[in-house]
Amino acid sequence: MRADVARRAVGLRLAGIGRTFHNERAQSFALRDVSLDVARHECLVILGPSGSGKTTLLRIVAGLERPEAGTVSFDGRDVTAEPPERRGAGVVFAEDALFPHMSAFENIAYGIPRGDRERVRAAAASMHVEHLLERRANTLSGGERQRVALARALALEPVILLLDEPLARLDAPLRLALRLELMSVLRGGSYTTVLVTHDQSEAMALGDRIAVMREGRIEQLGSPRDVYDRPANLFVASFVGAPAMALLAAASFGSLAPPGAETIGLRADAVLLSASGESAGRVRAVEDLGAEAYAYVETPNGTLVSRLTGPAPGLGENVRLHIDAAKMHSFDAEGRRLAHAERA
Ligand SMILES: Nc1ncnc2c1ncn2[C@@H]1O[C@H](COP(=O)(O)OP(=O)(O)OP(=O)(O)O)[C@@H](O)[C@H]1O
Ligand SMILES: [Mg+2]
């Protein structure tokens, strides 16, 4: 995280944003009182499950959707009533919207002052598409098109850059490669960015801060480390981190559980296979991901996940587990993190 983010001027401010949708079955969805500040040149990532309101929020920032309540300001200017073209946001969605019969060059140049070839070339260079400039957009691969779409947004030199799952449709290697490029562009520090994703590793890698959304509300806003190490509630605890944090009844931890705790959360690195461990369980699955491996162990109190540091146990094997109490997360009856449980 760039440490100076908190001291910078506000680039984007959302204050009390509300939006409701009514569909055929009379259900409604709302963005409920969403307020947040994005510092100038910060990358804020909005992370949340499908349907939590991420795209709706981004469309409201872009001006493509009107909020029923609240205001949007860019660099201190209230833009709530302004149409998208006057706001000056650069927007990229998961599905690129390139003009298929225009060249990559023409696509990138679209919307920027005439003749500024340099600006096009600089944006193309930052996304490594200089060699594709003469190609028609409909002859490019999905990944190439997505790079061109990103270059087009950058070439506009937007006040605010809005990216909605820009890497979602790419295959894994391309996604990682493009993520690194995007990271260096965003860390270059000249864009105020809001990036939407439901991929938490993308959120951790690209965000200066992460806003975790659920059902139209922001559940937690903090640095990637904060959100991972100090999840504010059970939803954030279970949504952020892979494998997911194991959540168990505090009662089964006896005196190990801090007072007031209803639920104990354990990440895989807090649970170690150890012959002298205090609890016992049975290996239900082993997940070897190459760089790391995990064992899912059924115990009388629920399933725990252990990050393996030695040879993998066999399926069905009875093992003993040691729990690192310093890495325990505790939550009260309302599912909120217990502050007194903080142990660096
Ligand atoms: N134009 C609309 N009319 C009716 N309902 C809508 C409309 N746009 C969005 N919604 C509803 O609002 C909710 C939030 O949708 P949104 O697209 O913001 O979610 P999201 O977080 O971007 O999800 P995903 O990760 O799947 O893209 C959903 O329940 C969706 O069905
Ligand atoms: Mg969406």
Provide φ and ψ at 70, rounded to 5°: 95, 175
By alpha-carbon position, which residue is closest to atom 2 of ligand 1?
A: 21
- pLDDT, the chain, mean: 91
pLDDT of 344: 42
Mean pLDDT, residues 16-42 taken together: 87
Cα-based torsion angle of the residue sequence 3, 5, 6, 12 in order, rounded to the nearest 10 degrees: -170
More confident residue, 25 or 70: 70
Q: Which protein residues have their CB within 5 A of the ion that is ligand 2?
A: 55
Residue 95 Cα, ligand 2 centroid: separation in angstroms?
A: 11
What percent of the chain lies above the pLDDT cut of 90?
72
Residue 168 Cα, ligand 1 centroid: separation in angstroms?
A: 17
Ligand 1 atom nearest the C-alpha of 22 is 4
Which stretches within 72-116 are classed as H helix? 84-87, 104-109
Domains of the chain: 3-88+158-239 (3.40.50.300), 246-341 (2.40.50.140)
Which stretches within the chain are classed as H helix? 54-62, 84-87, 104-109, 117-126, 142-155, 172-187, 200-206, 224-229, 234-239
Q: Is the CB of 50 under 6 A from ligand 1?
A: yes
Cα-based torsion angle of the residue sequence 158, 160, 162, 163 in order, rounded to the nearest 10 degrees: 70
By alpha-carbon position, which residue is closest to atom 5 of ligand 1?
A: 21
Amino acid at residue number 261? A
Residue 5 Cα, ligand 2 centroid: separation in angstroms?
A: 26
Q: Is the CB of 54 under 6 A from ligand 1?
A: yes
Mean pLDDT, residues 234-260 taken together: 93
pLDDT tens for each residue of 302-324: 999 999 999 999 999 999 999 99
How would residue 113 be classed by pLDDT, with cut points 50, 70 and 90?
Answer: confident
Q: Is the CB of 198 under 6 A from ligand 1?
A: yes
pLDDT at 146 over 50: yes
pLDDT of 114: 76
Measured from the alpha carbon of residue 50, the closest ligand is 1
DSSP 208: S
Mean pLDDT, residues 45-69 taken together: 95
pLDDT of 2: 55
Instruction: Look at residue 194 and give its three-state secondary structure.
Output: strand
